[in-house]
Structure 1
Amino acid sequence: MVKKWTVIFPAPTGPEERCAYIYLPESYNEDTRRRYPVLYMFDGHNVFFDSDATYGKCWGMKEYMDFTGTEIIIAAVECNHSPDNGRLMEYSPYTFDDPYFGLVTGYGKATMEWLVHTFKKDIDRYYRTLRGRNNTFIAGSSMGGLMSLYAIIAYNKYFSGAAALSPSLWTHPENIEKLIRSTRVRPNTRLYMDYGSRELQNHPGMKKQFQRVTSMLLAKNIFLNARIVPNGEHCEACWEKQIPFFMNTLLYN
């Protein structure tokens, strides 16, 4: 079951209404004493319904969860759809300059502050969640993947696991590397991170950057599952195929 409602999001252009989504396992209404882990996801409009997805194809998370009987709550909020780099600003932890996009001011920290101190608190208040770090995860793709990587490092006290699919490391590699080097990560931190083989041609040096970041993450004793997806592309249809891989990493044991 997926519920939809609106939340007030502190966008760079001012507070605005956003659509929020929550997936509840089939057992949620049957066992009213049970509490569940929570997976937070970026780009909520792309997670559950083709009709809401930007390009007409969602991840199919509801179908996967129902089919496998995976008992976890999924909570997500749609991104900024402003054509003036709205999504890039909200999902960028740092400010960066790009020949194509121009100067992009990073509001990623503000996005995460709202997610952990407002949205997460509301989810924990109104739903039967397991609130602790060991049962709280985060996932996303592209810029959402970058945010998931940022979250599992910078907000490691809240999340024990993350899935960063096709993370946009090209936006500010030096800052991400500095963050990983300088941050103390708690034990039992799990991370799934991938990149599609056909994506590598989009950004020169991405394979080398992916190798650098994965090596640094391993040096932090993070339980890392890193993959180059055979024939993988930058789209929801490809990310949907990776669900079994990243869910197994997040929920292992």
Structure 2
Amino acid sequence: MKKHLGSLFVLILLSMPALWAQNPLPVPQRGKIERIANFSSAYVSARHVDIWLPPNYSDTAKHAVLYMHDGQMLFDASLTWNQQSWEVDEVASALLENKQVRPFIVVGIWNGGNTRHSDYFPQKPFDALSAAEKDTVSAQLRASGRGNGPFLPKSDNYLKFLVEELKPYIDTHYSVYTDKDNTFIAGSSMGGLISLYAFCEYPEVFGGAACLSTHWVGTFQLANNPVPAAFLKYLEQHVPSPPQQRLYFDYGDQTLDALYPAIQQQADSVLRAKGYGEAQWRSLYFPGEDHSERAWSRRLATPLLFLLGE
């Protein structure tokens, strides 16, 4: 039964890009969305990019930019596979109307479907594993339906796509600030991992990151898993020095989030030792919350206030 479900999951993932190409533009409750359809890249597969502009967006004023992963899950639950979304437009609009955050736009980058895991899995920590440890990771991912052969992360190319191709496009086509103090990145689960990786690899580009329900395990089990230790070691060696940056984490304790609390607490210890304090860093625990867009939507205002608060 488990093998059948894994094969079905892979089949669904492989069919997603074709299905997404047929999806209409998300309809936000507030503001408007413009799409760059099948954004072409030298580094990753082509994918949609949905740009949310707040209700009062104007070319005469500059805006901060929040880049978010899994862009197809952000705005319109009627178009998502699980009928859930982050409701980014509603949460952001309420904060903007109350003048709690600086003006900003959201760049929602669609994931690549069957390439999502390799795009989002931090590459340098994986490269630091021994050959036997890499084999273990590949086997664990195969068992969960993520691929058939050796696992090869491609997140360095994904970040090049963001920094060298997408960001220059946004900077020249929209009325935005281009400096790191107004450029942020956010995501959940694997999207939380790649947000942290971007924060560490490109501190001159991203002034802050929000990592919700960060998928510290990389695979889908804790036992015999070398990934968390590799991620923590990478964090210790590469996290930018405070106080220039802002870093947000949160996690629940239900469904997949049940795997995260102990590892997140170790990550918190690393950040404390690096001198991160309340002004630069948050790590919040939400008891009873699960691993879902509804859960992330309920607490999205918190990282937005931390990163973009006036």
Q: TM-score, normalised by structure 1?
A: 0.89
Alignment counterpart, residue 159 of structure 2, candidates 87, 112, 121: 112
| Structure 1 residue 202 displacement after superposition | 4.4
The 10-residue stretch of structure 1 (62-71 or 242-251) with the greater mean CA deviation from structure 2: 62-71
| Structure 1 residue 123 displacement after superposition | 0.2
AA aligned to 1:75 is: V
Contact 2:64 2:183 (C-alpha < 8 Å) held by counterparts? yes
Q: Distance in 2 between matches of 1:133 and 1:147?
A: 17
The 10-residue stretch of structure 1 (32-41 or 99-108) with the greater mean CA deviation from structure 2: 99-108
Secondary structure of the residue aligned to 1:170 is coil
Query: Is the counterpart of residue 91 in structure 1 residue 120 in structure 2?
Result: yes
1:76 equivalent in structure 2: 108
Q: Distance in 1 between matches of 2:199 and 2:60?
A: 29
Query: Is the counterpart of residue 35 in structure 1 residue 91 in structure 2?
Result: no
- Considering fraction of residues, name the structure with more strand: 1
Contact 2:253 2:261 (C-alpha < 8 Å) held by counterparts? no
Query: Is the counterpart of residue 175 in structure 1 residue 230 in structure 2?
Result: yes
Q: Distance in 2 between matches of 1:104 and 1:249?
A: 35
1:42-61 to 2 correspondences below 5 Å: 42-61=69-88
1:228 equivalent in structure 2: 285
Q: Distance in 1 between matches of 2:153 and 2:117?
A: 8
Contact 1:162 1:190 (C-alpha < 8 Å) held by counterparts? yes
Secondary structure of the residue aligned to 2:113 is coil
Contact 1:218 1:224 (C-alpha < 8 Å) held by counterparts? no
CA offsets 1:88-111 (integer angstroms, 9 cap, x no match): 111111345154423421111110
2:35 equivalent in structure 1: 4
| Structure 1 residue 201 displacement after superposition | 7.0
2:264 equivalent in structure 1: 210
| Structure 1 residue 141 displacement after superposition | 0.3
Q: Distance in 1 between matches of 2:84 and 2:245?
A: 31
Give aligned-pair identity as a percent: 28
Contact 1:93 1:147 (C-alpha < 8 Å) held by counterparts? yes
Q: Distance in 2 between matches of 1:41 and 1:118?
A: 15
AA aligned to 1:234 is: H
**Unaligned 5+ runs, structure 1:** none
Secondary structure of the residue aligned to 2:80 is coil
Contact 1:137 1:159 (C-alpha < 8 Å) held by counterparts? yes
How many corresponding residue pairs? 243
Contact 1:164 1:193 (C-alpha < 8 Å) held by counterparts? yes
Q: TM-score, normalised by structure 2?
A: 0.73
Q: Greater CA radius of gyration, 1 or 2?
A: 2
Secondary structure of the residue aligned to 2:217 is helix
Q: Distance in 1 between matches of 2:42 and 2:193?
A: 20
2:130 equivalent in structure 1: none
Alignment counterpart, residue 141 of structure 2, candidates 86, 101, 104: 101
Contact 2:41 2:165 (C-alpha < 8 Å) held by counterparts? no
Cα distance change, pair 232–116 in 1 and its aligned pair in 2 (3 A)? same
**Unaligned 5+ runs, structure 2:** 1-31, 127-133, 143-149, 219-226
- Considering fraction of residues, name the structure with more helix: 2
The 10-residue stretch of structure 1 (20-29 or 177-186) with the greater mean CA deviation from structure 2: 177-186
2:28 equivalent in structure 1: none
